[in-house]
Each structure stands twice: as C-alpha cells, then as structure tokens.
Amino acid sequence: MPKTKERRDDVVVSEKQEHLRKPDWLKIKLNTNENYTDLKKMMRENNLNTVCEEAKCPNIHECWGSRRTATFMILGAVCTRACRFCAVQTGLPNELDLQEPERVADSVKLMNLKHTVITAVARDDLRDGGSEVFAETVRAIKRKNPFTTVEVLPSDMGGSEENLRTLMDAQPDILNHNIETVRRLTPRVRARAKYDRSLELLRRSKEMYPDIPTKSSLMIGLGETKEEIMEVMDDLRANGVDIMTIGQYLQPSKKHLKVLKYYSPKEFKELWEIAMAKGFSHCQAGPLVRSSYHADEQVNAAAKERQRLGDQQVAGVNS
C-alpha cells in the first residue's frame, strides 16, 4: 500500500519526506516590468553579478520590479565551497577583477540607491579571502554615493581576524554574516563553515566597531526543532547580533538538500515574536524572507534603535 500524504492548515508533511508540495503561501507574482528589465540590462552591460540571480532568490521580481533594489555579488560568480543548500556555481574562480569596486559604485549611483547590499562568493583560494576587494567596494560606494548606506554580507573568510579587520575598517553601515542553520545541522548543510566560527565573526565585528549593527540569517525547513531555532537566537544575542532574518529553505535543484517542512505564516509570526522578545532590534520572518529582504527597512530600524539607546544614555546622565 503506497505511503500517503497529509495536509494540515499550518504545515505540509509527508511520511516519506522525499518531496513536499509547495503550499499556496509560497506562490510569487512575477514582475518583469521596465524596472526589472532595466536592472537586468544594466547588470549585464557592467559585467556585474547579483546574488538575486545566482542564488535563484524568490524575491527577485519584487526587489527588481517593485522596489528597484539588488544585492551585488562581487569576487566573481564561482564559489570555492559547495554548500548543500546553495545554487551558486562551485569550482575554481577566475582571477580578481580589480575594477569591480568602481563598477559597482557607479551602478549604485546610476540606480540612485539609498541602501545597497554587497555580498560575495567564498574565496578560500585567496590569502585574504577577498577582504581587500570587499573593503575597496565599500569605500568606492561611499565615495561616489555619500548618502547611500552599505551593508556587507561576507563569508567567514576562513576565520581570519586580520581579514575581518580589513573589511570592518572600511566601516560598512551593517555587517551581515549568516549562521544559515542550527548547530546540529551545520556540518551537513554548510561546506567548510563552522557554527562557532560564524558566531566568532559576528562577535569580533561588534568588538571592533560597537556602533556598527550586526545581522544574521537563519533558513528553516531542514529538519531543525523549535528548541534548536531558539538556541540559535540565544547564541546570536549572546554574541551581540542586533538584527535577525528567518526564512523558509527552498530546494534550488534536485541535487540539493530536500525540504523536510514548510513552515506556515502563523509559525513565522510566532518566531518573529520570540526573536523580538529575546532582544533583537529588528527581525524579518516569513516564508520568502531572505538575508537582504527589505534590507533598507532594517537599516532604518537599526538607526532608530541606536538613537533610542543614545537618548536613554543621555537621560541617565542628566537625571
């Protein structure tokens, strides 16, 4: 007798756990309007990569078509790691393009962006992990776009404090590094990365520049428990992380890890409430949320929180 599937209002489950049908709340609206086509054309003309395309982000039509925002991916389009959740191409990267920082900065100006996110493939083949080009990109953007805030989303850069210092000295407005999954699943999900190394990077970032907000992202649906999700929240807060995003893992291809659970919007709302109660200054949680989803809103929220804390300190001194 064949295995059966069961559908509940709050979750989709399968006895075999081989293939889950996507629930209705994961349907997206395609938007290939003029904004979308203009951005796509500009990226190709300037030989630029975006994580929106390379990682097959489900929000690309909203961000490009409606919000006119994009997350630039520097240091090439080939990653030296082969994480089992990620759609970015893996292999031997090309030589560094030292003109890339200026092209990214020019594109930010052309797009008139108020906030931009810069991420990169992992470059374990480079002694500095690509940190110098990363830092040059931040400086170029700030030089040509003095009113644009810059968020960086690096790999762990091999755990090197020197490489992290190189990037942080460029003084991005937000340092974002993704924990990705719970401690127990990290060896299976992430290639070469280590759970505690990611926490260490986030902690060191805050120690180097206490006023720069830190941020991390968790994807769920890979077999983690609710208790493990809350453990991640506690670990992030214990290492000074200000902002958290929580999204649904979606299998990019058959060779990647399978989805074991689709969380409902109701469950994401509960996780958001828990995260905020634990002290994060801002949290985005939802089925389609990704690390840089509505990042412009997050930087504004972080700025308001810093202002609030500053006002409290002033009031304490004057009381």
- Per-residue pLDDT tens for 260-310? 999 999 999 999 999 999 999 999 999 988 776 555 565 556 556 655 655
Confidence band (pLDDT; 50, 70, 90) for 6? very low
- E strand intervals along 209-257: 214-220, 243-248
Q: Which residue from 117, 83, 120 is spatially nearest to 251, judged by alpha carbons?
A: 83
Residue 128's φ and ψ, nearest 5 degrees, are -95, 10
Residues 221-250: what's their mean pLDDT?
96
Tell me if 167 sits within 8 A of 134, measured CB to CB: yes
Residue pair 137/171 in contact by the 8 Å Cβ criterion: no
Q: What is the mean pLDDT of the chain?
A: 82
Who's near 162: CB < 8 A, 6+ residues apart? 128
Distances (CA, A) of 38 to 45, 110, 296: 11, 11, 21
Q: Which residues contact 135 (CB under 8 A, 6 or more apart)?
A: 166, 167, 169, 170
Helices marked H in the chain? 34-45, 51-54, 60-62, 100-111, 131-144, 161-168, 186-189, 195-208, 226-238, 265-277, 295-318
Q: Is 200 left (phi over 0), alpha (psi -120 to 50) or beta?
A: alpha
221: confidence class by pLDDT, cuts 50, 70, 90: very high
* Closest to 306 in 3D by CA, of 314, 296, 294, 317: 314
Long-range contacts of 301-310, Cβ-Cβ distance < 8 Å, separation of 24 or more: 301/243, 302/174, 302/213, 302/242, 302/243, 305/242, 305/281, 306/211, 306/213
The pTM for the full model equals 0.80
Report the alpha-carbon angle 294-300-302, nearest 5: 105
